[in-house]
Amino acid sequence: MERSGAHIVWEALKQEGVQVVFGLPGGAIMHTYHPRSDYGIRHVLVRHEQGAAHAADGYARASGRVGVALVTSGPGATNLVTGIATAMMDSVPIVCITGQVATSVLGTDAFQEIDITGITLPITKHNYLVTDVDDLADTIHEGFQIARSPRPGPVLIDLPSDVQRATTQLQPAADRSLRPPYTFASAATRHVPPEAAERIDRAQRPLILAGHGILMAGAEEVLRAFSERTGIPVATTLLGKGAIDAAFPLSVGLMGMHGEAATNHAVQEADLLIAIGMRFSDRVTGTLCTYAPEAYKIHIDVDASELNKVIGVDVPIQGDAKDILAELLASVSPNAHPEWLDRIAQWKRQSHARDIVSRPVNGSLPPPHVVHAICEATQGEAIVVTDVGQNQMWAAQYFHPRGPYPFITPGGLGTMGFGLPAAIGAQIAQPEKEVWAIVGDGGFQMTVQELATVVQERLPLRIALINNGYLGMVRQWQEWFFDKRYEATRLVNPDFVRLAEAYGIRGWKAHTRDESGEAIAAARAHPGPALIEFITAQTGDEANVYPMVPPGAALHEMIRRSEHRSGAQR
Amino acid sequence: MKRTLIALVDDKPGVLNRVTSLFRRRSFNIESLTVGHTTQPGISRMTIVVDSTRTDSEQVAQHLCKLINVVKVEDITEQASVSHDLAMIKVKAQGGTTRSEVMQIVETFRANVVDVAQDTLIVEVTGSEEKLDSLVDVLRPFGILEMVRTGRVAMVRGNKTNEHTGGQDGNV
């Protein structure tokens, strides 16, 4: 049977199990759009292509499936770039299909022509320009395999309009197995060496650093079993949130620039670090020369190029987190570290005394309280999607997802504008689950047009907008490190509740803790999409994220919130 | 220390661009890179020389392995191998005495004269980088007008072959 390139696209997507595509049509992709409804694949119309990439990303993170974006050539394709780079940095499997001008005019600066495979070369796992319709089906299937195979990431397929139109009799190849990636002989082992198990048994102050790799490998249970057997506490990276339940007794919380003080102290004093599926990002380590100076370091990652990339480790192990943890579990002895845990508990008690959420109500609305209240109301049984900046750090510090609820945040690229469109993707992936977008007034306005998508798709999304009238994280840095010169960070904002209502979204405003609790309850009871604008302090102690490792400082040299109500303590 | 990597890659458009783009964005410092055909259709071979005091060659290899079009990467520095560079040097050779002096040097270095013109010769030489450097030094006083060098190509001695794309080990 003769089929056109456009039909082949949808057939291949269907075979890959795709249920939904995020996109926006235009001239060079219209042939592909044309037969879509024959294939029963849902299309979500975004208002800007960046939203399509982020929504595909949020969908992938919330479902474990590959997210798909479909856009036209030229500006449609370039608008994806920020979203593709975000997915690349956080190892999220998405496939982006872009229209392209006809092959006969490729390279002539034709209308809406852009070299998108050239542009996205450094931000995709792989990309393709398909010039022959006979290659199309195999290319799409190969692209999906590449996107989801470890370490996952984005793939882009550029599709000239004549290839979409062209027809072929050719059936896609039956055997589509990818050539396995070559393993370079290196210092890294692929199994647990005996000295690693010995070190684990002997350690006095051991700590596990759990990253995104735990979640991607589905290694949560074996991690917990390993921690229980060895008595070793578990800290997580930002993307590793959820790798261990926050209520688990050996969970010590978030590490890094805005991590918990207790966790950062534990890293710095540890005599053994077992890092699994994390990459020693600069936001996790502080200055490298002072990082965990006493620790013997075991690093496990599926991507061998991450081993010894930024810090030299004693035992580099390349492999799947679940497999290697199972090996580790079998090779270590049961153990306990009461003194070490006592020391960590002592640091935790000090943190609690400084915690703004433990302070008495005084009429103001500290932003951490907003997140804390959402966490309490939902009991952690909600998918939280953050934007970037202070809102992201407060969400990470105060929202503790339970069990299978993912915490979705653009960690590596730090993409403002991610929150709303990614939450759309997450809500579509998990229609029955409660989804909260936690965003700031700065980032929200970068992709605010996607409110129309929320309404058009009738999504019951909840949006918590923390409005402090500033690009808050930059303002905080200006206060602490740039002589309090608030250069270009003050925002004159619209009335966000009226804005939401203009889109047909129910809105609430909250100025105090009491109002915030009521608004959260009302938004949760409301069947449709809801937005709450939380008016919080613009400057001063309540407006800042604590603790903070200043840039260039060691991990334990944190700026802490004072124990009393007076201003910041340096 | 200079380390020599051999990479087998798909012979497809844009693959060299993928490799060089990787080196650029990771700030890898590469001494030389050569590309050419192999005996296998569809597979090209790259010889990449890395100065390990400036760039960790293992990082280079590991990142190369992540490129979908890279079939195989090996570091052959520790193995007995033949490493050759090829140079063509256009040198001034006016008048009978000068010309015969140049010819004598060419013979001593087992180089070849591949072009003879009124006032110039093109000398072609293959061998180690050190040998080529010393020939260049010796020819410089005569006046070098132009030079082109290929960069290092390398092959492991004996039965072992690096051209197998199937398995992890290339012994025949």
The tens digit of pLDDT for each residue in A461-506 reads: 999 999 999 999 999 999 999 999 999 999 999 999 999 999 999 9
Taking contacts as CB-CB distances below 8 angstroms, the residues of chain A near B74 are 184-185
- Give me the pLDDT at residue A177, please: 75
Q: Phi, psi (5° rounding) for residue A323?
A: -65, -45
Chosen domain end from B79, B104, B135: B79
Chosen domain end from B79, B111, B129: B79
Taking contacts as CB-CB distances below 8 angstroms, the residues of chain B near A118 are 17
Beta bridge partners of B150: none
Residue B27 CB neighbour total at 10 angstroms? 8
Cβ distance A280 to A263 under 8 Å? no
Say yes or no: B97 and B50 in one domain: no
Q: Does A146 touch chain B (CB under 8 A)?
A: yes
Residue B158 lies in a domain: no
Report the CATH number at residue B34: 3.30.70.260
- For all residues of chain A together, what is the average pLDDT? 95
- Give me the pLDDT at residue B165, please: 67
Q: Among all residues of chain B, which has the CA nearest to that of A187?
A: B58
> Could you tell me if residue A100 is left (phi over 0), alpha (psi between -120 and 50 degrees) or otherwise beta?
beta
Percent above pLDDT 90 for chain A: 91
Residue B129 lies in a domain: yes
Quick one: which H or E segment has residue A518? Answer: helix A513-525
**From the candidates B66, B73, B77, B79, which should be mutated to test the interface with A, based on the most A CB atoms within 10 A?**
B66
**Contact: B68, A184; criterion CB under 8 Å:** no
With bands split at pLDDT 50, 70 and 90, how would you rate the model's confidence at B159? confident
- Give me the pLDDT at residue A570, please: 40
Taking contacts as CB-CB distances below 8 angstroms, the residues of chain A near B17 are 118, 121
**Contact: A117, B72; criterion CB under 8 Å:** no
- Give me the pLDDT at residue A559, please: 95
Q: How near does any CA of chain A get to the CA of B151, in Å?
A: 24
With bands split at pLDDT 50, 70 and 90, how would you rate the model's confidence at A354? confident
- Give me the pLDDT at residue B172, please: 38
Say yes or no: B11 and B68 in one domain: yes
Residue B154 lies in a domain: no
Q: Phi, psi (5° rounding) for residue A234?
A: -120, 125
- Give me the pLDDT at residue B166, please: 59
Q: What does the block give as tokens for A186?
A: 């290196």
- Classified as helix, coil or strand, A370 is helix
CA distance A133 to A171: 11
Q: Which residues are CB-neighbours of A468 under 8 A, at least 6 positions away?
A: A367, A390, A440, A441, A536, A537, A538, A543
Taking contacts as CB-CB distances below 8 angstroms, the residues of chain A near B67 are 126
Say yes or no: B73 and B108 in one domain: no
**From the candidates B8, B68, B165, B169, which should be mutated to test the interface with A, based on the most A CB atoms within 10 A?**
B68
In Å, how far from its chain's centre is CA B147? 15
Say yes or no: B12 and B63 in one domain: yes
Residue B169 lies in a domain: no
Whether A171 has a pLDDT exceeding 80, the answer reads: no
Query: B165 vs A75, A119, A250, A419, B7, CA distance in Å?
Result: 40, 30, 47, 44, 10
Say yes or no: B50 and B20 in one domain: yes
Cβ distance B68 to A126 under 8 Å? yes
Query: B66 vs A323, B32, B95, CA distance in Å?
Result: 21, 21, 57
Taking contacts as CB-CB distances below 8 angstroms, the residues of chain B near A304 are 62, 65
Domains of chain A: 3-168 (3.40.50.970), 194-347 (3.40.50.1220), 356-539 (3.40.50.970)
Taking contacts as CB-CB distances below 8 angstroms, the residues of chain B near A126 are 67-68
Say yes or no: B27 and B72 in one domain: yes
Q: How near does any CA of chain B get to the CA of A137, in Å?
A: 18
Whether A451 has a pLDDT exceeding 80, the answer reads: yes
Q: Which among B18, B66, B70 has the least Cβ separation from residue A121?
A: B18
Say yes or no: B6 and B70 in one domain: yes
**Contact: A186, B62; criterion CB under 8 Å:** yes
Chosen domain end from B20, B53, B79: B79
Residue B166 lies in a domain: no
State the number of CA atoms in the 13 A half-sphere of A399 facing the CB: 33
> What is the residue range of B144's domain?
82-149
Whether A565 has a pLDDT exceeding 90, the answer reads: no
Whether A569 has a pLDDT exceeding 60, the answer reads: no
Say yes or no: B7 and B56 in one domain: yes
**From the candidates A178, A182, A299, A308, which should be mutated to test the interface with B, based on the most B CB atoms within 10 A?**
A182
Say yes or no: B103 and B124 in one domain: yes
Cβ distance A153 to A303 under 8 Å? no
- Classified as helix, coil or strand, A64 is coil
Q: Which residues are CB-neighbours of A321 under 8 A, at least 6 positions away?
A: A213, A214, A216, A217, A219, A223, A276, A277, A300, A302
Say yes or no: B94 and B53 in one domain: no
Cα dihedral A196, A197, A200, A203 sign: negative
Q: b vs e for A444-482, b when ≥16 Cβ sit within 10 Å of the residue's Cβ?
A: bbbbbbbbbbbbebebbbbbbbbbbbbbbbbbbbbbeee
**Three-class SS of A550-563:** CCCCECCCCEECCC
Report the CATH number at residue B100: 3.30.70.1150
Q: Among all residues of chain A, which has the CA nearest to that of B21?
A: A122
**Contact: A305, B62; criterion CB under 8 Å:** yes
Cβ distance B80 to B156 under 8 Å? yes
Q: How many CB pairs under 8 A join A and B?
A: 52
- Give me the pLDDT at residue B169, please: 46
Q: What does the block give as tokens for A398?
A: 């105060």
Taking contacts as CB-CB distances below 8 angstroms, the residues of chain A near B73 are 182, 184
Whether A156 has a pLDDT exceeding 90, the answer reads: yes
Q: Among all residues of chain B, which has the CA nearest to that of A188?
A: B58
- By a Cβ cutoff of 8 Å, what residues of chain B touch chain A? 14, 17-18, 21-22, 25, 56, 58-59, 61-68, 70-75, 168
Q: What is the mean pLDDT of residues A68-85?
A: 98
Taking contacts as CB-CB distances below 8 angstroms, the residues of chain B near A177 are none
**Contact: A126, B68; criterion CB under 8 Å:** yes
- Give me the pLDDT at residue A218, please: 96
Note the pLDDT tens digit of each residue in A258-315.
Answer: 999 999 999 999 999 999 999 999 999 999 999 999 999 999 999 999 999 999 999 9
Q: Nearest to residue A150, comparing CAs of A368, A347, A320?
A: A320
- Give me the pLDDT at residue A186, please: 79
Say yes or no: B19 and B41 in one domain: yes
**Contact: A181, B65; criterion CB under 8 Å:** yes
CA distance A309 to B19: 19
Residue B172 lies in a domain: no
State pTM to two decimals: 0.95
Taking contacts as CB-CB distances below 8 angstroms, the residues of chain B near A308 are 56, 58-59
Say yes or no: B33 and B69 in one domain: yes
- Give me the pLDDT at residue B164, please: 74
Residue B57 lies in a domain: yes
Residue B90 lies in a domain: yes
Q: Does A304 touch chain B (CB under 8 A)?
A: yes
- For all residues of chain B together, what is the average pLDDT? 92
For residue A304, the 8-state DSSP code is G
Q: Give me the number of domains chain B comprises.
A: 2
**Contact: B65, A187; criterion CB under 8 Å:** no
- Classified as helix, coil or strand, A214 is helix
